[in-house]
Chain A
Amino acid sequence: MNGVLILLPIALLLGLAGLAAFFWALRNNQFDDPDGAAARILIDEEEDGAA
């Protein structure tokens, strides 16, 4: 029971932190271009000098 009393607030806080992070991302327009974000990882940065 004592363990639960410590673990419960920790679990809830961590969850809330996740939720807060999501809201932060939402407010910073990180969900504006899901397709672009998925494709961007494929862009080869080294190509820059050669091109």
Chain B
Amino acid sequence: MNAARQITEEHTSVLAVPAMHCAGCMSKIERGLLRREGVIAARVNLSSRMVTVTHDETVDENDLTRFIAEAGFEAQPRRRQAERPYSAVKPLLAPLAVAAFAAMNVMLLSVSVWSGAEGSTRELFHWISALIALPAIGFAGRPFFKSAWGAVKRGTTNMDVPISLGVIIASGLSLYETWVGGQHAWFDGALMLLTFLLAGRVLDAMMRDRARSGVEALVSQAAKGAQVVGADGTLTYLAAEELQPGMVMRIATGERLAADGEIVSGSSKFDQSLLTGESRPVALAQGEMALAGTLNLEAPVDVRVSSAGHDTTLAEIARLMEASTQDRSRYVRFADRAARLYAPAVHSLALLTVVGWLVAGASLYEALVIGVAVLIITCPCALGLAVPVAQVVASGALMRAGVMVKDGSAFERLASVDRALLDKTGTLTLGRPVPDAVALAALSNEEAGIALALASHSRHPLSRAMAKALATRGLAPVALENVVERAGEGVFATSHGRAVALTRPESSGTTAVLLRTGDGADRLIPIADTLRPDAREAIAQMRGQGIECSILSGDTARAVAAVAHETGLTAQANARPEDKQALVGRLRASGHKVLMVGDGLNDGPALAAADASIAPGSASDVGLQAADFVFVQDSLSALPRTVQVARRTMQVVKQNFALAIVYNVFAVPLAIAGLVTPLIAAVAMSASSLLVVANSLRLVRAAK
């Protein structure tokens, strides 16, 4: 902008903004940032939901987060800035481009051969084709050759084995044909096959990339750490990895603990729901242990670190999860299961054809040409597209409906689910405190105005919940004087000469706040976690889909009973993370296909162990990482919808396989009879691929 700006040092920050989704959001954020003093450039990446900001040293990441918040979006600074996110698509794009380029040019030459080029012209064209095709096949075929070689080395087979064999044999034979000046070269077929298959792979990778970056943006990347009290009483901020046993952390109200430790001064209530699923705050006093990941609700406390990093309870849960994840990775995809039958069948068919023609008196060369034709015609071109195209279209439809798909094979696993376990806190319920609507409605406008004014002066979670609920009534906050917030007690002030306060009730069985307005009776407002909208309808729909649901919660029996009664589900309470995992294991062992729906850290092992798993977007980082699907709206109707889309996707996948098999039923006899020319192979291959893609596109509206 001006000369002075040029001299100052430039910094680059990357912030995650999960909520942006359209051109309007992009321009709001970019312009909102550029208008600020100190911001030099801002560039949004919509695919990864990140914004890269170039700025001078007068602003830092906290300022940027505030600027974006003022533009109307929530943002979190990314912890690792320099690191480029790994993309599965990029390494495949170059092979796809090379294969497509070579296929088009070779096809052009082939067309003239098919339309009757003779003698030296045909020979010249074959030579040029070979010159283009051989290096292109060598480069573009590498992903398949590598995977096929890996499978063969392990003594198994996958889809890549018939593909690689078909391509290599076809190229070798075509080269021989070219050498001896023969009539048919198959370079175009081999290249087209690679192009179609690579397109399938790129689509598959694209879906995984998109979902992963979406989840990465949701996962809060903000540096987690704690204020550490030094020997001289000074406070320094240390990242979680730098915390050592023996250090004393000062935990402010509303802050999460970064390490396990013993409380050395102060006492407060802690929300352990992330670890245990128990929604009721636990009171802890001096000398008691507080665990990493719990939220301090009431008063600042000092905690001496007893274990940090890999020794915390948090890390223990992470280890449980890792074991479960390995267990699930043994799942064999539908396409690979099909390949186990398909590959040997195709190979023995080609071999039998060669032997058959030899027996019938054909020359070795003739028999080989026909054998290759069988291999090429049966090459799983449409099969390679059958699964990825259907999954990509379905996940696009789900994404528009607010559900992110993290893994393509999750569709297959979810489609067969017949049993669902739902966590309570944060899954069936919203997982955040909501003041009781009846108690709020009973407040007069004056009382509500005072409550809103008091609540807006505090950052305590309950105050914020109150402020949010009251703001919807459209009231103006009353003017207050002498506002004081006393930690662990509440907010106190005077209004028109009367003492008013929003405080913790002296004794109450449930979570609540007490409103004192000076005249009239004090008001007790219960604050509880409420059921998600449509929870009952969603569960009824799931039942209609043949999925039996039940609640599996770490919360107390009393709290679970209330929700169980409201939803009409059976429930198991007081379940520890390992109990949840064990129950999933038991159900699976008894032949059920289990869907786990959960959000918390305590659900992580169960999410990883279940056949399929879904987490709400508000879930803990662990929950988001472990789940196959993440839904971002409040409504629970995402569950039956996702199941429905998964089932329709599997239907389409199976139809695609059926189409591919029907195609083979017609084409293979022709190939065995020796009637297939390169022209027929090219037409048949493209026709079957187009058919499969068209069938998959029907899924575009699957999530409606």
Does residue B105 face the partner (Cβ distance < 8 Å to A)? yes
- Whether B105 pairs with A40 at a CB distance below 8 angstroms is no
- Whether B27 pairs with A19 at a CB distance below 8 angstroms is no
Chain A min CB distance to B238 (Å): 34
Q: Which of B44, B47, B101 touches A18 (beta carbons < 8 Å)?
A: B101
Does residue A6 face the partner (Cβ distance < 8 Å to B)? no
Closest to B109 in A: A8
- Whether A22 pairs with B47 at a CB distance below 8 angstroms is no
Q: Contacts A26-B93, A33-B47: A19 and B121 contacting too (C-beta < 8 A)?
A: no
Chain A min CB distance to B28 (Å): 9
- Whether A42 pairs with B48 at a CB distance below 8 angstroms is no
Chain B min CB distance to A15 (Å): 5
Does residue B265 face the partner (Cβ distance < 8 Å to A)? no
B 1-59 contacts with A by CB, 8 A: 22-23, 26-27, 31, 44-48
Q: Which of A4, A36, A42 touches B121 (beta carbons < 8 Å)?
A: A4
Does residue B104 face the partner (Cβ distance < 8 Å to A)? yes
Q: Pull 7 A–B residue pairs with CB atoms less than 8 Å apart, ordered by A.
A: A1-B121, A31-B93, A32-B47, A33-B45, A36-B26, A39-B26, A41-B23
Q: How far is the CA of A31 from the CA of B87 in the complex (A)?
A: 11
Does residue B90 face the partner (Cβ distance < 8 Å to A)? yes
A 1-46 contacts with B by CB, 8 A: 1, 4, 8, 11-12, 15-16, 18-19, 22-23, 26, 31-36, 39-44
- Whether A11 pairs with B105 at a CB distance below 8 angstroms is yes
Chain B min CB distance to A21 (Å): 10
Does residue B98 face the partner (Cβ distance < 8 Å to A)? yes
- Whether A26 pairs with B94 at a CB distance below 8 angstroms is yes
- Whether B105 pairs with A35 at a CB distance below 8 angstroms is no
Q: Contacts A31-B93, A33-B45, A51-B31: A15 and B101 contacting too (C-beta < 8 A)?
A: yes
List, in ascending order, chain B residues with CB within 8 A of A4's CB. 121
Does residue B658 face the partner (Cβ distance < 8 Å to A)? no
Interface size on B, residues (CB 8 A): 23
- Whether B47 pairs with A35 at a CB distance below 8 angstroms is yes
Does residue B151 face the partner (Cβ distance < 8 Å to A)? no
- Whether A36 pairs with B44 at a CB distance below 8 angstroms is yes
- Whether A8 pairs with B128 at a CB distance below 8 angstroms is yes
Does residue B108 face the partner (Cβ distance < 8 Å to A)? yes
Q: Which of A12, A26, A36, A41 touches B46 (beta carbons < 8 Å)?
A: A36
List, in ascending order, chain A residues with CB within 8 A of B101's CB. 15-16, 18-19
Q: A32-B45, A43-B27 are in contact. List 6 more A-B contacts (CB 8 A).
A: A15-B101, A19-B98, A26-B97, A35-B46, A36-B46, A47-B27
Interface centre among A12, A23, A44 (most CB of B within 10 A): A12
Q: Contacts A39-B23, A39-B26: A33 and B48 contacting too (C-beta < 8 A)?
A: yes
- Whether A43 pairs with B46 at a CB distance below 8 angstroms is no
Chain A min CB distance to B324 (Å): 33
Chain B 90-130, CB within 8 Å of chain A: the 1/0 string?
A: 10011001100100110010000000000001000000100
Q: Contacts A31-B90, A36-B47: A15 and B26 contacting too (C-beta < 8 A)?
A: no
Chain B min CB distance to A34 (Å): 6
List, in ascending order, chain B residues with CB within 8 A of A43's CB. 23, 26-27
Chain B min CB distance to A44 (Å): 8
Q: Could you tell me the dominant secondary structure of chain A's interface residues?
A: helix
Closest to B28 in A: A51
Q: Could you tell me the dominant secondary structure of chain B's interface residues?
A: helix
List, in ascending order, chain A residues with CB within 8 A of B44's CB. 36
Q: Contacts A4-B121, A12-B105, A47-B27: A19 and B97 contacting too (C-beta < 8 A)?
A: yes
List, in ascending order, chain B residues with CB within 8 A of A32's CB. 45, 47-48
- Whether A48 pairs with B31 at a CB distance below 8 angstroms is yes
List, in ascending order, chain A residues with CB within 8 A of B105's CB. 11-12, 15
Q: How far is the CA of A16 from the CA of B46 in the complex (A)?
A: 31
List, in ascending order, chain A residues with CB within 8 A of B128's CB. 8, 12
Chain B min CB distance to A40 (Å): 7
List, in ascending order, chain B residues with CB within 8 A of A26's CB. 90, 93-94, 97
Chain B min CB distance to A30 (Å): 11
List, in ascending order, chain A residues with CB within 8 A of B46's CB. 33, 35-36, 39
Q: How far is the CA of A16 from the CA of B89 in the complex (A)?
A: 22
Q: How far is the CA of A43 from the CA of B104 in the complex (A)?
A: 36
Q: How far is the CA of A48 from the CA of B121 in the complex (A)?
A: 61
Q: How far is the CA of A41 from the CA of B26 in the complex (A)?
A: 11
In the A-B complex, list the 10 residue pairs whose CB atoms are closest, starting with the nearest: A36-B46, A42-B23, A39-B23, A35-B46, A43-B27, A33-B45, A35-B47, A33-B47, A19-B101, A22-B97
List, in ascending order, chain B residues with CB within 8 A of A12's CB. 105, 128, 132
Q: Which of A34, A44, A47 touches B47 (beta carbons < 8 Å)?
A: A34
Interface centre among A12, A22, A35 (most CB of B within 10 A): A35
List, in ascending order, chain A residues with CB within 8 A of B26's CB. 36, 39-40, 43
Chain A min CB distance to B424 (Å): 35
- Whether B97 pairs with A11 at a CB distance below 8 angstroms is no
Closest to B85 in A: A32
B 265-315 contacts with A by CB, 8 A: none
Q: How far is the CA of A51 from the CA of B31 in the complex (A)?
A: 9
Q: How far is the CA of A48 from the CA of B35 in the complex (A)?
A: 10
Q: Which of A11, A23, A48 touches B94 (beta carbons < 8 Å)?
A: A23
- Whether B27 pairs with A36 at a CB distance below 8 angstroms is no
Chain B min CB distance to A37 (Å): 8
Chain B min CB distance to A29 (Å): 9
List, in ascending order, chain B residues with CB within 8 A of A23's CB. 94, 97
Chain B min CB distance to A4 (Å): 7
Chain A min CB distance to B328 (Å): 30
- Whether A36 pairs with B45 at a CB distance below 8 angstroms is yes
Q: How far is the CA of A23 from the CA of B132 in the complex (A)?
A: 17
List, in ascending order, chain B residues with CB within 8 A of A42's CB. 22-23
Q: How far is the CA of A48 from the CA of B46 in the complex (A)?
A: 20
List, in ascending order, chain A residues with CB within 8 A of B104's CB. 15
B 118-156 contacts with A by CB, 8 A: 121, 128, 132
Q: How far is the CA of A18 from the CA of B104 in the complex (A)?
A: 12
List, in ascending order, chain B residues with CB within 8 A of A51's CB. 31
List, in ascending order, chain A residues with CB within 8 A of B90's CB. 26, 31
List, in ascending order, chain A residues with CB within 8 A of B27's CB. 43-44, 47
Q: How far is the CA of A31 from the CA of B92 in the complex (A)?
A: 12
Q: How far is the CA of A31 from the CA of B213 in the complex (A)?
A: 15
Q: How far is the CA of A15 from the CA of B106 in the complex (A)?
A: 11
Q: How far is the CA of A41 from the CA of B360 in the complex (A)?
A: 65
Interface centre among A32, A39, A42, A51 (most CB of B within 10 A): A39
Q: How far is the CA of A40 from the CA of B45 in the complex (A)?
A: 10
List, in ascending order, chain A residues with CB within 8 A of B23's CB. 39-43
Q: How far is the CA of A33 from the CA of B22 in the complex (A)?
A: 13
